[in-house]
Amino acid sequence: MDKNRINPIFVRTITLKNMGVVNFEDLFEAKLAKNDMIEPKDWMPENYRKHLIRQISQHAHSEIVGMLPEGNWITRAPSLRSKLVLLAKVQDEGGHGLYLYTAAESLGTSRDEMLDALLTGKAKYSSIFNYPTLTWADVGAVGWLVDGAAIMNQVMLQRTSYGPYARAMVRICKEESFHQRQGYELMTHLAFGTPAQKEMAQDALNRWWYPTLMMFGPPDIESPNSENAIKWRIKRETNDQLRQRFVNQSMPQIEYLGLTVPDKNLKWNEAKKGYDFSEPDWTEFKAVIKGNGPCNKERLASRNKSHAEGAWVREAATVYAKKQNENYEAA
């Protein structure tokens, strides 16, 4: 090991030409205060690093597991055009997972550790992907509502304090925006189609509404991670703020489709310039994130099967990389 290399975990201060002795933590705080990004080689508090690994790896897992519910419909898409669009969308989600795993790796964890946590059921991923996609309308509802909720949450993450995460989110948001439009387009065709198609669209909205509201996480008073996330500028808005904005933004779209929300309490509140609405069933949410949702077992089994079937690809890639390295060193 290079003796002159600073190990940021043990060294707490640095002497700078114009500033004298400076504490790393003060530098970190000063960067946050100036809205500067924290980069992989910067000093950072251990809890900040752990918080990011938790959130980014969960986010990556969500993208990868999120390929499954819609992936189920690729072979059953009703036209060549819709099949191509859905294929592209699902493939994008795989790409998002890869950018995010790479961002998490820059914090000192490994792909193997993260995948192991996912495949053994230790790691969380978004609750939403433990619900089944029963009809073709669900593909529309997922694109429109689920990707719509994802964008609502992810726009702020483009300005999150950790550089690699923020930069990954810029591209992800652009692609999510296309996903949301493809979902809404699909719902438009159904909602303005035959009575049976409209009924299918309404049924999908009925089933996906509350699970989508759960995506934003528990209410702020029950969100243990929010305080640090806001303090460190990892999250810039709270779970409840984003959930409220999502409802406000979705209502005109739902009304345009001529559909209704399965919530008798939903009404415009002029005083707060937003909608009042019923909370999702938080008992159900807790059960789903503990592994007891409608599809948790199926999703994990599916990921484990793919991982096992892909073993030969990983082995071949490792041998190939080793050979390339040897050739490079020999040259």
Which chain residues interact with ligand BYC by CB under 6 A?
A: 54-55, 58-59, 62-63, 66, 93, 124, 126-127, 146-147, 150, 153, 214-218, 223-226, 229, 239, 289
CB of 223 to ligand BYC, least distance (A): 3
Closer to ligand BYC at the Cβ: 24 or 216? 216
Q: How far is the CB of 318 from ligand BYC (least distance, A)?
A: 28
Contact between 89 and 96 (Cβ < 8 Å): no
Nearest residue (beta carbon) to ligand BYC? 66
Residue carrying structure tokens 């694109």: 143
Whether 94 and 64 have beta carbons less than 8 Å apart is answered as yes
Placement of tokens 């689920």 in the chain: 146
CB of 47 to ligand BYC, least distance (A): 12
> Which residue number, 178 or 275, has a Cβ lying nearer to ligand BYC?
178
68: nearest Cα among 308, 256, 298: 298
Q: How far is the CB of 201 from ligand BYC (least distance, A)?
A: 19
The CA distances from residue 102 to 60, 112, 313, in Å, are: 9, 12, 19
CB 59 → ligand BYC: shortest distance, Å? 3
Number of DSSP helices (H) and strands (E) in the chain, helices first:
14, 4
Minimum CB distance to ligand BYC smaller for 164 or for 217: 217
| Residue (24 or 138) nearer to ligand BYC, CB | 138
- The token pair that represents 171 in the structure block: 């591209």
Range 245-248 contact pairs with CB under 8 angstroms and sequence separation of 24 or more: 245/152, 246/148, 246/149, 246/152, 246/212, 246/213, 246/216, 247/213, 247/274, 247/275, 247/277, 248/274, 248/275
- The minimum distance between CB 11 and ligand BYC, in angstroms, equals 30
Comparing CB distances to ligand BYC, the nearer of 70 and 263 is 70
24 or 215: CB nearest ligand BYC = 215
